Amino acid sequence: MDMSDSTDTRNAHQRVWFVTGSSRGLGRSLITAVLEAGDLVVATARNPKALAEELKDHDDRVLALPLDVTSADAARAAIDAALDRFGRLDVVVNNAGYANVSPVETSDDQDFRAQFETNFWGVYHVTKAALPVLRQQGSGIVVQISSVGGRVGGSPGIASYQAAKFAVDGFTRSLAAETAPLGVRFMVVEPSGFATDWAGSSMTVHPTPEAYDSTVGAMNRRVRQGTAGSAGDPNRAAEIIVRTVRRGDTPSHLLLGVNAVNLALNYSRRQLTEAETWEAVSRSADFAEPYPVELPPA
């Protein structure tokens, strides 16, 4: 990818953001926060026409582009268009994603795979398309919008979504190690529930068999179809992301929301306790270690 012919229209203090899934939810809030911070943004969505109309007062700082993240060719074309307009990329945000609900046993295979195509392969395609640009610049950050479920897991009914988020985390950890000497940074954002339409019009809830009513069904009634609403403010979350990215020492993982913090801390404590309980057994698998050892008390 040759950037020599690109025209850099930003000033020295402006960052160029590239955001997927920016037509609504956290992505839409993020576009607003980026503009309020004075930066430039490439706002992508499957259908960006409405977004372009909303942002027409910022035409000099916004490029709205169509993007189906499941297409590698489309991802490369969108990155090229961003470079043609703004000359560089500073922040790439993989936000596009969705979840449908059904127990694994009764999930439609094509639906399960289609979710994974967006939630993991979309991240892969956009990140891979951006990497040559960031490497050549020797700078830039990729922000992966994941979920606290991608750390702790265990949410009944959304196995495809959570499996993809775990995959994104593993993918990003490897990338961070590969690119550490190249000036490219990565940050995985792990929100809990936010007041977006993630569990509304964006989500299809398939029929739940009676056998799964106490797990998938209960989760649907309590969280996904409940009337209390989510605690998280997407506008605050977007502002936090923008402020954090502008620091030089971004965290590898950023939890957002009270539930995200509580779930992550409790999960880490349980992990540590379990690892310590089984430590002697685990060590005994190596040739040089004493063997056999007693299993922990039941």
Report the catalytic residues. 146, 161, 165
Tokens of 100: 């449908």
Residue closest to 80 by CA, chosen among 18, 15, 144: 18
| Residue 153, Cβ density class (10 Å: 0-12 exposed, 13-18 middle, ≥19 buried) | middle
Residue 93 phi/psi, 5-degree rounding, is -115, 115
Would you call 281 helix, strand, or coil by DSSP? Answer: helix
- Cα 131 off chain centre by: 17
Tokens of 187: 């940050």
Cα-only R_g, the chain: 21
Distance between start and end Cα atoms, the chain? 59
For Cα atoms 79, 45, 10, give the angle at the middle one, nearest 5 degrees: 45
User: Are the C-beta atoms of residues 53 and 23 closer than 8 Å to each other?
Assistant: no
